[in-house]
Structure 1
Amino acid sequence: MEEEGVDNRVVKRLDSERDPNQKNRQRFGSRSGVLSIEEFFEDQEVPSWRKQLTFRAFFVSFWLSILFSFIVMKLNLTTGIIPSLNVSAGLLGFFFVKSWTKFLERSGLLKQPFTRQENTVIQTCVVASSGIAFSGGFGTYLFGMSERIAHKASGSRDFKDPSLGWMIGFLFVVSFLGLFSVVPLRKIMVIDFKLTYPSGTATAHLINSFHTPRGAALAKKQVRLLGRFFSVSFLWGFFQWFFTSADGCGFAHFPTFGLKAYANKFYFDFSATYIGVGMICPHIINVSVLVGGIISWGIMWPLIEEKRGQWYSEKLRSDDLSGLEGYKVFIAIAIILGDGLYNFFKVLTRTLSGLFDQLQRRRESEDFSMENSSSSELSYDDARRKQLFLKDQIPIWFAVGGYVVIAVVSMNTLPHIFPQLKWYYILVIYIFAPVLAFCNAYGCGLTDWSLASTYGKLAIFTIGAWAGPSRGGIIAGLSACGVMMNIVSTASDLTQDFKTGYLTLASPRSMFVSQVVGTTMGCIISPCVFWLFYKAFDDLGLPTGEYPAPNAVLFRNMSVLGVEGASSLPKNCLTLCYIFFATSILINLIKDLIPKKWARFIPLPMAMAIPFYIGPYFAIDMSLGSLILFVWQKLNKTKAEAFGPAVASGLICGDGIWTLPNSILALVGVKPPICMKFLSRSANTRVDKFLGS
């Protein structure tokens, strides 16, 4: 598969030319007649790790980080479903730097050509920076501490409002520990255990193909298509803005399936972002979200609402947790916890089993080597990659020393930011964090699934219960969640990047430095982007607003549940929670036990839980995106696979970046001129009579 992007004329030329490295190939076990990816690039000098870290790479990374931070923040504050943006980062990084170098080449000023190693640095830096927008908790634990979210949950007296200063300080203290925790294990993960890291491997193959003649030509077409749909998406967002002068106005509130369906959140809201997300996410995720929306808002909530006055008081507000809102929130939490707990033990079991098998095979291979006095030959690609991967070592003392220093600093700093989070809570987290970071990084290498949020929820319940209600357990649990999530998330991200760097011959040192630079950018950019949303949109965090931040409410109530128990839940809510918790585990178990050809049709409980609280309107958008991609694949599978991610990225990026001018207009007090609303016939008649009088 690696040779598909190679220009045939170049292959013939290389085959016809005398090969100066033939002896090396024979020694490393290269197969005759097969052109490997590293043989294709062998005439290109691999730059030193310092030369891979260029000014232009970090300049492009900075602007792309801002773009992707807006995208991730918007997704965080709406549904929390965030697709992989690695392809978009690699593609846009290639396009901008390639355009830069071509201009300099024509003017005779180009001093250093654009390499795949530099492309890897850009992709790593951008993903690390925009990843802080997720692990920073702006749509989950961090915003869940605020008074705005606290008023929608119990334990409303225990809150801490966002402030730009403490958010940046908090992220700087906790975001780098994960990087140091897995650095000593990079050789074990990538070379000894040969973990696949599917996302990292796919990104590496993409970058390698970009830097072949045919791959570069395809990348140009992809970028052109991305730019076209970026423009359409941006202009569509701008056009919709004119009709949103008040709450409930605009195309986003179009009653597509009628007013009754609209009242139960079934409508198409014309969001280009979620059409794009639907095109990137696997079909089963989109179907799962839609099924969850139908079960909850189509069946369950109407039935429970009929029990008003029996199960809960008729006088309660619609957003009171003692009423219907309590069922929405805590049943969603039960499904998420059931799914998270099952996958935690599943990945932990696979991790321990895989680790045991790896160590056993390694011991057997060492015994076999000693008996036969020879080891199995490496391919030319593997030998070259291993040689360069081990060339630029990161000293173990540096990693251990960095971890200890940052841990000491954070134990002295975090209690000043969160007085409820005592230093000994932090010490316990940091003692167990390296083990959990290894488990998450190893499990991600096997399954491509990071369980960062699951480890965060584990910290919510353990630290929150330890602190208790009298010592601010709610804030202690949420802040501990942040510490744990940042450590395990950045650990798995870095090992993914090491795998990408291994396959593109990027130095581990350049990978580590670009991850550090990207994390530093993210610690500043992400809080600033969130602060813009927080100040610009007064309805941020409200269920009826444009950005309801559902996961902030869910995380807050998880903390409340862990600290105060379930005594405040409405009637039969706890029973329903038990049922859905068990059902979530059962669905996962069935999915793993039956053959894969049937298992792929079973919905994912985690995806099903998301619309339980906020409604299925975004599921309509995602399903439409999934349908578009499905039809495209049936008509022309090759083109759909080549250009589908570019179209989806354009839709997401255009609508995402529109939030910047939209936020600025809101901050300066510029309001749209028109309100477009939809009324029933009887309501319209009453309005006409009122206006006529």
Structure 2
Amino acid sequence: MAISTQNDEQEKIQNGEHSFVDEINSKNKLMPEENSNNNETDTTETKESVEMIFRDKEVPSWRQQLTVRAFAVSFVLGVLFSFIVMKLNLTSGIIPSLNVSAGLLGFFFVKTWTKFLEKSGWLKHPFTRQENTVIQTCVVATSGIAFSGGFGSYLLGMSGQIASQSTEANDSQNIKNPSLGWMIGFLFIVSFLGLFSVVPLRKIMIIDYKLTYPSGTATAHLINSFHTPQGAKLAKKQVNTLGKFFSFSFLWGFFQWFFTGGDGCGFEYFPTFGLKAFENRFYFNFSATYVGVGMICPYIINISLLVGSILSWGIMWPLIEKRQGDWYTDPSSTSLHGIQGYRVFIAIAMIIGDGLYNFLKVISKTIVGLSRQLRSKRDAGTILPLADRASPDAQSSSALSYDDRVRTRLFLKDQIPTWLATGGYVAIAAISIAALPHIFPQLKWYYILVIYIFAPTLAFCNAYGCGLTDWSLASTYGKLAIFTIGAWAGKSHGGVLAGLAACGVMMNIVSTASDLMQDFKTGYMTLASPRSMFVSQIIGTAMGCVISPCVFWLFYNAFDDLGSPNSEYPAPFALVYRNMSILGVEGFSALPKNCLLLCYVIFASAMLVNAIRDIVPKKWAKFIPLPMAMAIPFYLGPYFAIDMCVGSLILFIWEKRNKVQANAFGPAVASGLICGDGIWTLPSSILALARVKPPICMQFVKGEK
């Protein structure tokens, strides 16, 4: 689904899909064919058919798929995953796919509950894969708001805490400090438009164009496998594994807390490679979260992070620091007119270069793909259907497999009226145009109107490109809004804040659009109704609009130094996004000496590296680092990259010893490490709010000679 398997650019590191798909494959290896005693299974089609396994199970109506227990479990898991995503947002900004954990835990909780009711004789409705899909969709929609809500990027970038780190645009008209009320209102206004914008196109994307949506497909395979006898047994073992490492990770976080009774204290500041390396942020962080993330993310992501760390903190920054007095005079390590300016703006140049290349790449693939689809439709003598009505001849074609025939029939059964989607979009847009200027006076109503005119087209492009490449460019579209609206508003009219707010509007629309289409693909393959998918996405989004701001508000009040570069929660992308907006409004005057030249070189290099990755054969391309991943440690430092590489090393050794076991249980181990450490932030935040200080400060200093 996060670079996230929920795929919001590489900042959301959704290329965890590789491990996700590997797990599905391993499940398939471990599961023998069902119904082997049935004569029908002698045919090749039946042996390969998923729906033939479930042919004796009645598919519940779309209303029956939306159960109270499903949304109760979704709420609990939504809170859990919101804490996890929020912590990752405010630390490294790297968010892996949590689809596996959501599907697995949803299955476990409801299955346990239904077994209890069954033994008691009170079970009225059995647990189905459709209900499992509803849970997974709702949980991912809820926790997705923690990312697209911008709590670690554009929204926090509006605050005075981030503005104080720069001498530019830190006047009152370019600052808006977080408040629970306006954050919840803002998210409710902007988070639903994307859902309505692409609903009329679901048949075209899923049935007519047969787009792959790899993450949605992988999620469907996972859920389908859970609801076979062998899959249920494996899922139980995976949950047990997840629980063990959840407990370990939580207790490890609790243990570490006792030694953090001051600034720079605790295991996370252990100078693993010596004090000199520690000064340049090369050390092992002892973070269970980062180790778990490293086990989920593909090897190339972790290697790219390490290469970026060495290039920046090992080579570039030490060389630039030697130019102090010539290139810059401000000795402060946090001033944008000093070394920090090079760190931030060079990272921005690499992010924009990578984003622009992938934007052009996905858009070109979208155009080529669309033209081929239109040409094939025209050559076949058919008209591209834009309504919900299906072409009976096409859908009943004997060329379709048994699975496709069953899935297509049920996917087209419960239609979502086009008038409802169109009317919903117009109504929400009208409310938004009227309400947003009251939250952000700098964001004029006509700016919002222009965004909403172009948003459906961009949402379609993002959803279509995501179906082809599994790559969401929501963050790239958000950056486009930063530069265009910020420059339009101008420096003297709060352009920095207007650009950041416009980023939030655009990012939420295109992000939820691609997420919904992924869910439609999952629902198509699990026979979940499009209506239940749409409703669960709406309910999950509504939950996220309340849960995520509350979770962020807890962090914001518990940690006074949130957003500071050297704090426990540095929120690296908040400063990056704010400086992008400053750059769009003020131009290049804010850059230190020679910084612009270095930015040009890094920008061109990012595009060149991406081009080389696409040109060379795949067997060599997999060894070429990803510029977006390389850019993240430019500002933040190498420490989390080292933790993630340790996670990769653990998985690599495990795969060498037992590949099938590693593929089946690796994601469960990683999820346990992430969830346990992530949920520890709740009691640690409560302790911080209560002003309870850890009793010990463990610190490392240079010894006497």
Same fold (TM over 0.5): yes
Determine the C-alpha separation between the residues in 1 that align with 2:579 and 2:240: 45
2:47 match: secondary structure: coil
Counterparts of 1:192-591 in structure 2 under 5 Å? 192-313=208-329, 315-366=330-381, 375-591=397-613
Instruction: Tell me by how many angstroms 1:550 deviates.
Output: 0.4
Name 2:96's counterpart in structure 1: 83
Instruction: Tell me by how many angstroms 1:318 deviates.
Output: 1.8
Determine the C-alpha separation between the residues in 2 that align with 1:641 and 1:509: 33
Name 1:688's counterpart in structure 2: none
Name 2:130's counterpart in structure 1: 117
1:566 match: secondary structure: helix
**Aligned: 1:11 with 2:35:** yes
Name 2:689's counterpart in structure 1: 667
Instruction: Tell me by how many angstroms 1:347 deviates.
Output: 0.2
Which amino acid in structure 2 is aligned with residue 149 of structure 1?
I
Contact 2:285 2:643 in 1 (8 A): yes
**Aligned: 1:646 with 2:662:** no
Instruction: Tell me by how many angstroms 1:363 deviates.
Output: 2.3
Which amino acid in structure 2 is aligned with residue 287 of structure 1?
I
2:278 match: secondary structure: helix
Determine the C-alpha separation between the residues in 2 that align with 1:318 and 1:623: 27
Contact 1:230 1:651 in 2 (8 A): yes
Which amino acid in structure 1 is aligned with residue 434 of structure 2?
N
The C-alpha deviation readout for 1:197-242, integer Å capped at 9, x for no partner, is: 0000000000000000000000000000000000000000000000
1:37 match: secondary structure: coil
Determine the C-alpha separation between the residues in 1 that align with 2:655 and 2:460: 38
The C-alpha deviation readout for 1:314-371, integer Å capped at 9, x for no partner, is: x542211111010000000000000000000000000000111111122223469999
**Aligned: 1:132 with 2:148:** no
Instruction: Tell me by how many angstroms 1:376 deviates.
Output: 4.7
Determine the C-alpha separation between the residues in 2 that align with 1:330 and 1:128: 32
Which amino acid in structure 2 is aligned with residue 595 of structure 1?
P
Instruction: Tell me by how many angstroms 1:8 deviates.
Output: 4.5
1:317 match: secondary structure: coil
RMSD across aligned positions (CA): 1.9
Residues 5 and 332 of structure 1: CA distance in aligned 2, closer, same or farther (over 3 Å): same
Contact 1:181 1:491 in 2 (8 A): yes
Which amino acid in structure 2 is aligned with residue 87 of structure 1?
V
Which amino acid in structure 2 is aligned with residue 253 of structure 1?
Y
Instruction: Tell me by how many angstroms 1:568 deviates.
Output: 2.3
The C-alpha deviation readout for 1:441-477, integer Å capped at 9, x for no partner, is: 0000001010000000000000000000011000000
Instruction: Tell me by how many angstroms 1:34 deviates.
Output: 2.4
Residues 634 and 7 of structure 1: CA distance in aligned 2, closer, same or farther (over 3 Å): closer
Name 2:10's counterpart in structure 1: none
Name 1:691's counterpart in structure 2: none
Which amino acid in structure 2 is aligned with residue 269 of structure 1?
N
Instruction: Tell me by how many angstroms 1:379 deviates.
Output: 1.1
Instruction: Tell me by how many angstroms 1:261 deviates.
Output: 0.2
Determine the C-alpha separation between the residues in 2 that align with 1:367 and 1:489: 32
Determine the C-alpha separation between the residues in 2 that align with 1:96 and 1:375: 40
Contact 2:45 2:402 in 1 (8 A): no
Contact 1:6 1:213 in 2 (8 A): no
Name 2:170's counterpart in structure 1: 156
Counterparts of 1:584-623 in structure 2 under 5 Å? 584-623=606-645
Counterparts of 1:151-190 in structure 2 under 5 Å? 151-153=164-166, 154-157=168-171, 158-190=174-206
Instruction: Tell me by how many angstroms 1:35 deviates.
Output: 5.0
Determine the C-alpha separation between the residues in 2 that align with 1:512 and 1:350: 27
Residues 145 and 275 of structure 1: CA distance in aligned 2, closer, same or farther (over 3 Å): same
2:104 match: secondary structure: helix
Instruction: Tell me by how many angstroms 1:9 deviates.
Output: 7.9
Query: 4+ residue stretches of structure 1 with deviation over 2 A?
Result: 1-10, 30-35, 362-372, 374-377
Name 1:101's counterpart in structure 2: 114
The answer to which of 3-12 and 324-333 deviates more is 3-12
Which amino acid in structure 1 is aligned with residue 230 of structure 2?
R
Residues 5 and 106 of structure 1: CA distance in aligned 2, closer, same or farther (over 3 Å): farther
Determine the C-alpha separation between the residues in 2 that align with 1:5 and 1:124: 26
Name 1:635's counterpart in structure 2: 657
State the number of aligned residues: 671
Contact 1:5 1:215 in 2 (8 A): no
- From 58, 63, 67, the equivalent of 2:71 is 58
Contact 2:152 2:571 in 1 (8 A): yes
The answer to which of 630-639 and 488-497 deviates more is 630-639
2:644 match: secondary structure: helix
TM-score (norm 1): 0.95
Name 1:690's counterpart in structure 2: none
The C-alpha deviation readout for 1:119-159, integer Å capped at 9, x for no partner, is: 00000000000000000000000000000000112211120
Contact 1:6 1:212 in 2 (8 A): no
Determine the C-alpha separation between the residues in 1 that align with 2:237 and 2:189: 42
Residues 378 and 608 of structure 1: CA distance in aligned 2, closer, same or farther (over 3 Å): same
Residues 47 and 307 of structure 1: CA distance in aligned 2, closer, same or farther (over 3 Å): same
Determine the C-alpha separation between the residues in 1 that align with 2:220 and 2:350: 35
Which amino acid in structure 1 is aligned with residue 574 of structure 2?
A
Which runs of 5 or more structure 2 residues have no equivalent in the other structure?
Answer: 1-23, 384-390
Which amino acid in structure 1 is aligned with residue 266 of structure 2?
G
Determine the C-alpha separation between the residues in 2 that align with 1:7 and 1:132: 35
1:244 match: secondary structure: coil
Instruction: Tell me by how many angstroms 1:114 deviates.
Output: 0.1
Determine the C-alpha separation between the residues in 1 that align with 2:570 and 2:239: 32
Name 2:15's counterpart in structure 1: none
Which amino acid in structure 2 is aligned with residue 156 of structure 1?
N
Instruction: Tell me by how many angstroms 1:6 deviates.
Output: 8.7
1:267 match: secondary structure: coil
2:698 match: secondary structure: coil
Which amino acid in structure 1 is aligned with residue 363 of structure 2?
L
Determine the C-alpha separation between the residues in 1 that align with 2:393 and 2:195: 39
The C-alpha deviation readout for 1:14-38, integer Å capped at 9, x for no partner, is: x15xx6xx9xx9xxxx856525110
Which runs of 5 or more structure 1 residues have no equivalent in the other structure?
Answer: 686-693
Query: Which one has the largest radius of gyration?
Result: 1
Contact 1:5 1:212 in 2 (8 A): no
